[in-house]
Structure 1
């Protein structure tokens, strides 16, 4: 009689995993059939679909090069190595790498074609950050490369906005010829060695994505062009992987857009263990996993729950609250889109007053959502000894500091992230970063960090650092003199468009929404000891 395997035997996890799924078969036969369009007719119902298993990182095999007519073009002469384009890309379609000058020459000399060799040489920038500074420190100067993966790029142009005034990126039309060049360039990038650690500055948090151990979201997910959620997930994994390593991370994903685009069979963008759960009980599932990990002596592993408005603000709020009360070392990433994007754009308790959504549509009698927004951060502060941060992926340092601090905190921690949903907010595909910044500037979504380790009082624990004009009601743009209030923000988004008349004047409902945002901001100021 065959001996039954013990699937709790932690000494033979690699062997057990191979027994559960044949990666080679899955990638070649299953993913291959989906890629060539024959899966529906040819694939049998197998043990993998029966178990709802998708191996790690299969999204890397997905090709989106047919999605958009344009693709970013890199101009190395203008690049400063800020890494913002690499950080903000929601699809892991644009990556950076630093190579020592001599090593690059060695690799380029292997290229026989002089035209191709010169093209590849032009993909490397001589920046102050990676060339001049290391040289002054007695380290061999490094050359910085930006590589665009045409099979992952959806053409959202978020990277172009992130690059800003540097003008190192611009969108160009795709052709058969330039797609071939992009693929060859990216292939050269993948064959280069990893960025040496001496070029990765610990104090420059954006540099984390230069390390291979930080690239734990491979792209190939079915998210919308420019999705604000995907960038936040990538950054959370980058910050966690950089410090703890990919082998020490697990994810419990609550039902929502994130589970749809990250597990559309057979494609999965994660290079870490993950499980999908219903949105009302993801934190409860995490409690069970954490308890088992702790039994196994895995206290050092980081466990993250990912969920949106339904999972954390509404139907799953009780599960979240119970998890926080447990005091267990579990971290939560809340993807706050202020709307149920996954199920067609209904309002949630994180939606703003007056917001035009399904189930709170703008009409003659009721002009959008009639309830005030629930402030999850303040509610979480009232739980005993829970770390909470409110941040955006556009505020790169604040976001990374929030994730790093949450991981270090010896107990439950929640990081709430403003995540632009382009279709439901009524904004352009390249606007996630812009709208997140504006949400902070207009007090629609203030930045905050509440750390119980800082003291006994709320004033000591709560920091509003990172918000503009932190002691004032509203931020005033230093160049234009415009007051950046909630109405200014609302003018830029389709979900509030019906509240303005033909002359651009806001109605009473929108004025009440602005009053609500100001009350919330003043309350935070008071709690932080600034009023």
Structure 2
């Protein structure tokens, strides 16, 4: 009977079973540490052990939940833990997001990773959490894993610190034995990464044992009052507000299983409203950028490279600047002194990668961006939110031009706050594409990283402008995405061709001079996407004013009048391997599509398997001893057709070349393919993903990657269509390889093989550059 009231779910695990639950942050190592923990317990005690790992689809930075059970009797529990003896929260922001402590049994243990003293705990812990801890005699412990990680050199990888604290508090194995087993596991796990990494993890284990502190739960916490943690959203487009309140918020709070079918009725066709990621405000960064106006040269590089579109420049009139939130920093705008300039940061959407601070040139050797603890910069969110209410300035676009590095960053990014890894090498390219063409984009997205950070439930990072227009995005399979995008383009072409005939007939028959002039302008710009957008708006306005039957007939399909910018996105696993046949078919068609290949040189989404884009010598899954053969030359294959626009780009190496390639490719009335070098967390870059842009630069300077463009239009003008934008290498190829774990680990595993493959790879790189030079001379 579905109407019966249910009591608390009965405990069906065997008597004596110990249940533990760990709440972690994607890529902080919590899941890996708990796999080690359950193995240690299973191998070194007479207990049965079970582990299950639950996490969302954020690439990193999402929530992870590790469920561990162990006991003297066999465990056959096929469900998640809801009553735990031990709960650990590895990210302090979670205490205001999830019901964690309410899952702890009376007398259980709660371990919180934070740097808060008693006064700060009083301030940060919600009333209902404090009351539950006090009423149920929960033992509370804290450890400042973030500070320890920084001191040791592990950064955000706090897993071994918290794992050690768990073993000390859980008292399953004598602590000395647990330390030995943990250190043995750390040596096995990280030995391939070098002695320094192993030592850091050993130090982390020691600190996890010594630095955990017990907090006496005050009696007055029993009287703490409940606090509102998830207020209803009221501002924004109605369809987004309803979606956020009814679906996104419950799902993100791990209450998605409680949603009734009726919550999804408005989305039965599979469509979701754009822009919902802006409401997540995850607050997961440890450090966020702090802008220092006096050191800023207003280059906008920080915004240009930001993977999550959290840092943006804003131009304000004097009146807007006067109305800005108190404390908002600003300065006179270079080139437009009558305006005020500011860099704003959405600190609650930032992932703390530091890419912006890394590329900041500053002034006189002093950076304009300094990474600062999030808690010190929370007030900055008000400045960012205020800037979102301001309109874009036509005079700014006129002065700095939308198709320049600086000017493009005054355009609203229509990809924002995605679930990509901190420092992601893919999203800066896609974000830039949306700033240039977003209001008229159609996107076919192959399955892979781009589809996971681009469209995973419940949030959507693609957004619409204040005009209500933005990218229309859909995801297809690995194997047919090029054909899917091609089909989108053919459908648009068919509809527009039919409408064009009606417009031509209208021009020939109408007596309304305004309609005729607008229609002629529309037809004159028919194949020019940038100009046709404005012409279409004016034409629709004229049609609506006239109101004759012929105009009404055209207005029925007004959404299809303007020329759309058709894009096909995917990674190298799709473009080089599984979807190559379709991709080749589409570029051979001669039709006007734009293909962006985000080349990470591995199957990034599924864990770093080797693809045909993986270079010689790289270690990846299915190439554990280093890849024997060289990378497939996708650009050369595309260029062989002669009528395909082809470019290879690396944003961090040449901002302007990236911009030129994207603009040229989109404006070319035919097939275009852009292959973009995208550093990935799978590469193991020394220094972390915050240096992704630097790694792109070094890839070109060492000859590992080559930037060039091939534009067939220049042939008809009697010009050289091939432009080699990379100069001859000036840095060591071998040093570049050794800066990434995917290569350096081979040196430790098999030095002789590493030497052989790296020399082979370098010869291939030199030969490739010489070939490109000959190609440039051939076309001259």
Q: State if a TM-score over 0.5 links the two structures.
A: yes
Does residue 528 (structure 1) correspond to residue 776 (structure 2)? The answer is yes
Does residue 339 (structure 1) correspond to residue 602 (structure 2)? The answer is yes
Q: Contact 2:592–2:670 (CA<8 Å) still a contact in 1?
A: yes
Give the CA RMSD over aligned residues: 2.5
Q: Deviations over 1:11-53 (max 9, x none)?
A: xxxxxxxxxx954422321112224432222343634665433
Residues 501-512 of structure 1 aligned to structure 2 (within 5 Å): 507-512=755-760
Where does residue 302 of structure 1 map in the other structure? 565
Shift in Å, 1:288: 1.2
Where does residue 55 of structure 1 map in the other structure? 273
Where does residue 727 of structure 2 map in the other structure? 468
Where does residue 292 of structure 2 map in the other structure? 75
Does residue 134 (structure 1) correspond to residue 134 (structure 2)? The answer is no
Q: Contact 1:499–1:510 (CA<8 Å) still a contact in 2?
A: no
Q: Deviations over 1:151-174 (max 9, x none)?
A: 210000001011134400011112
Shift in Å, 1:234: 0.5
Relative to structure 1, the CA distance from residue 411 to residue 383 in structure 2 (aligned partners, 3 Å threshold; closer, same or farther) is same
Relative to structure 1, the CA distance from residue 43 to residue 443 in structure 2 (aligned partners, 3 Å threshold; closer, same or farther) is farther
Shift in Å, 1:150: 1.5
Relative to structure 1, the CA distance from residue 195 to residue 443 in structure 2 (aligned partners, 3 Å threshold; closer, same or farther) is same
Q: Which runs of 4+ in 1 moved over 6 A?
A: 456-459
Give, in whole Å, the separation in 2 of the partners of 1:511 and 1:307.
31
Give, in whole Å, the separation in 2 of the partners of 1:260 and 1:174.
26
Residues 97-136 of structure 1 aligned to structure 2 (within 5 Å): 97-100=314-317, 102-108=318-324, 116=326, 119-120=327-328, 123-126=329-332, 130-131=333-334, 133-135=335-337
Shift in Å, 1:426: 3.7
Shift in Å, 1:317: 0.7
Bigger radius of gyration? 2
Shift in Å, 1:210: 4.0
5+ residue gaps, structure 1 = 1-20, 136-140, 363-367, 476-483
Aligned counterpart for 1:370 among listed residues 623, 628, 631: 628
Aligned counterpart for 1:361 among listed residues 609, 615, 624: 624
Give, in whole Å, the separation in 2 of the partners of 1:524 and 1:357.
28
Relative to structure 1, the CA distance from residue 273 to residue 204 in structure 2 (aligned partners, 3 Å threshold; closer, same or farther) is closer
Secondary structure of the equivalent of 1:86? helix
Give, in whole Å, the separation in 2 of the partners of 1:76 and 1:44.
51
TM-score of the two chains, using structure 2 as the length reference: 0.57
Where does residue 742 of structure 2 map in the other structure? 495
Q: Contact 1:70–1:174 (CA<8 Å) still a contact in 2?
A: yes
Give, in whole Å, the separation in 2 of the partners of 1:457 and 1:357.
45
Residues 312-461 of structure 1 aligned to structure 2 (within 5 Å): 312-362=575-625, 368-394=626-652, 395-427=654-686, 428-455=688-715, 460-461=720-721
Does residue 86 (structure 1) correspond to residue 303 (structure 2)? The answer is yes
Higher relative contact order (CA 8 A, sep 6+): 1
Q: Contact 1:458–1:528 (CA<8 Å) still a contact in 2?
A: no
Shift in Å, 1:76: 0.8
Give, in whole Å, the separation in 2 of the partners of 1:82 and 1:435.
20
Where does residue 389 of structure 2 map in the other structure? 191
Secondary structure of the equivalent of 1:400? helix
Q: Deviations over 1:275-329 (max 9, x none)?
A: 1001211110112111110111157211000011121111111101100111111
Does residue 250 (structure 1) correspond to residue 442 (structure 2)? The answer is yes
Relative to structure 1, the CA distance from residue 162 to residue 296 in structure 2 (aligned partners, 3 Å threshold; closer, same or farther) is same
Shift in Å, 1:404: 0.6
Does residue 515 (structure 1) correspond to residue 763 (structure 2)? The answer is yes
Q: Contact 2:273–2:460 (CA<8 Å) still a contact in 1?
A: yes
Secondary structure of the equivalent of 2:662? helix
Count of residue correspondences = 463
Shift in Å, 1:204: 6.9
Shift in Å, 1:347: 0.6
Shift in Å, 1:195: 3.5
Secondary structure of the equivalent of 2:757? helix
Q: Contact 2:286–2:373 (CA<8 Å) still a contact in 1?
A: yes
Give, in whole Å, the separation in 1 of the partners of 2:402 and 2:273.
34
Give, in whole Å, the separation in 2 of the partners of 1:34 and 1:501.
44
Give, in whole Å, the separation in 1 of the partners of 2:718 and 2:429.
27
Q: Contact 1:341–1:424 (CA<8 Å) still a contact in 2?
A: no
Secondary structure of the equivalent of 1:164? coil
Relative to structure 1, the CA distance from residue 525 to residue 192 in structure 2 (aligned partners, 3 Å threshold; closer, same or farther) is same
Q: Contact 2:289–2:354 (CA<8 Å) still a contact in 1?
A: yes
Give, in whole Å, the separation in 2 of the partners of 1:35 and 1:398.
39
Where does residue 13 of structure 1 map in the other structure? none
Give, in whole Å, the separation in 2 of the partners of 1:26 and 1:375.
44
Shift in Å, 1:442: 1.4
Secondary structure of the equivalent of 2:566? strand
Aligned counterpart for 1:265 among listed residues 443, 448, 457: 457
Secondary structure of the equivalent of 2:361? helix
Q: Contact 2:288–2:350 (CA<8 Å) still a contact in 1?
A: yes
Give, in whole Å, the separation in 2 of the partners of 1:512 and 1:458.
38
Where does residue 225 of structure 2 map in the other structure? none
Give, in whole Å, the separation in 1 of the partners of 2:667 and 2:474.
23
Secondary structure of the equivalent of 1:398? helix
Relative to structure 1, the CA distance from residue 81 to residue 375 in structure 2 (aligned partners, 3 Å threshold; closer, same or farther) is same
5+ residue gaps, structure 2 = 1-237, 464-470, 497-560
